[in-house]
Amino acid sequence: MKKIIAIGLMALLSVGITKAQHSELGVFFGTSYYLGDLNPKKHFNKANSAGGILYRYNFDTRWALKVSALFGHIEGSDLASGYNIDRNLSFRSPISEISTQVEFNFFNLYTQEGKNRISPYMFLGISAFSFNPRAQLPGDDHWYDLQAIGTEGQGLDEDKKYYSLSSVSMPFGVGAKVNFLKNFSFGIEWGMRKTWHDYLDDVSGTYHSNYELATRRSPDVARLADKSDPLNIEGSQRGNSRTKDWYNFTGVWLTFKLFDRTESCGAYKKSTYRSNKIGRKK
């Protein structure tokens, strides 16, 4: 996933250089949060700070293509969401994303004086993302990588494979843009990410044998897998595998329109035209 992010950043910069007359480069600041087994409904529950960079290519006053690299953290807790307090599970994970999106402005968006400089917009795209859920035990400062220890018995049974720490998602959402000072744009954006992955929180299937986890892995793994009191029966439901996890980036962005001499300098165009016209007369 790190290689994908590096390649995406290089592509973002190279496209920005070659398409300067319609291009914007900028930064994003905001929050990231998650919806899933540990937080099914509460938006912005346990939201964390997020940030990144973006490049936008404007086809015209309505349509644009955006490429972004965003980084944040997501987390969830049964206690914080109040959904399944007896289960008592929690997690925290970094989240990194490279995304390509198509934007549609509801109004024609201009930079000239006397024309519309504000427009709401919506977007849809595709993303590649990576994550790594972790958790702590009470009284222990150590963070355990939950995928590696196999809390649902991954690696102990042939039919239980370790899940991947990277996948794809579909970003979509809405926002509003403002053009100002000729070369700057500012916006606010709310964007959900639909995934086809159910382990962003390390919870999806059924409880594995707590005794086997303790003896074949370690007592700490067994405690991380089941924090209920009393412990759950092997094979009982731990998560809902029929619903997939979601994550979100919401925040503000600021972009600078890259300068291009041929687009910006009217005197240059006029001078070139005159010289060509004189040449034709001769």
Cα torsion for 19, 24, 30, 36, to the nearest 10°? -30
Assess contact for 93 and 144: CB atoms under 8 A.
Answer: no
Assess contact for 64 and 15: CB atoms under 8 A.
Answer: no
Burial class (CB in 10 A: 0-12, 13-18, 19+), 31: middle
Assign 21 a pLDDT band (cuts: 50, 70, 90). Answer: low
Q: Per-residue pLDDT tens for 222-257?
A: 999 999 999 999 999 999 999 999 999 999 999 999
- SS3 category, 160: coil
Q: What CA–CA distances, in Å, run from 60 to 56, 105, 106, 118?
A: 12, 10, 12, 15
- Average pLDDT over every residue of 47-60: 97
Task: Please name the residues in contact with 276: beta carbons below 8 A apart, sequence gap of 6 or more.
Answer: none
- Spatial separation of the C-alpha atoms in residues 47 and 121, rounded to whole Å: 24
Q: Per-residue pLDDT tens for 178-230?
A: 999 889 999 999 999 999 999 999 999 999 999 999 999 999 999 999 999 99
**Within 10 A of 260 (CB to CB), how many other CB atoms are there?**
13
Inform me whether the pLDDT recorded for 25 exceeds 80: yes
Which alpha helices (H) appear in 118-175, and where do they start and end?
Answer: 146-149
Q: Per-residue pLDDT tens for 113-169?
A: 779 999 999 999 999 999 999 999 998 999 999 999 999 999 998 888 999 999 999
**Is beta strand 90-105 parallel, antiparallel or unpaired with respect to 118-131?**
antiparallel
Assign 16 a pLDDT band (cuts: 50, 70, 90). Answer: very low
- Spatial separation of the C-alpha atoms in residues 85 and 112, rounded to whole Å: 56
Assign 92 a pLDDT band (cuts: 50, 70, 90). Answer: very high
Model pTM score: 0.84
Which alpha helices (H) appear in 67-167, and where do they start and end?
Answer: 78-81, 146-149
Type of residue at 70: L
Residue tagged 């996933």 (tokens): 1
Inform me whether the pLDDT recorded for 268 exceeds 70: no
Position 6 scores a pLDDT of 52
Domain architecture of the chain: domains with CATH: 2-281 (2.40.160.20)
Which alpha helices (H) appear in 208-265, and where do they start and end?
Answer: 210-212, 219-225, 261-264
Task: Please name the residues in contact with 249: beta carbons below 8 A apart, sequence gap of 6 or more.
Answer: 28, 30, 31, 32, 50, 70, 72, 97, 171, 189, 191, 193
Position 91 scores a pLDDT of 98
Q: Per-residue pLDDT tens for 30-41?
A: 999 999 999 999
Inform me whether the pLDDT recorded for 271 exceeds 70: no
In the chain, the percentage of residues whose pLDDT exceeds 70 is 84
Position 158 scores a pLDDT of 82
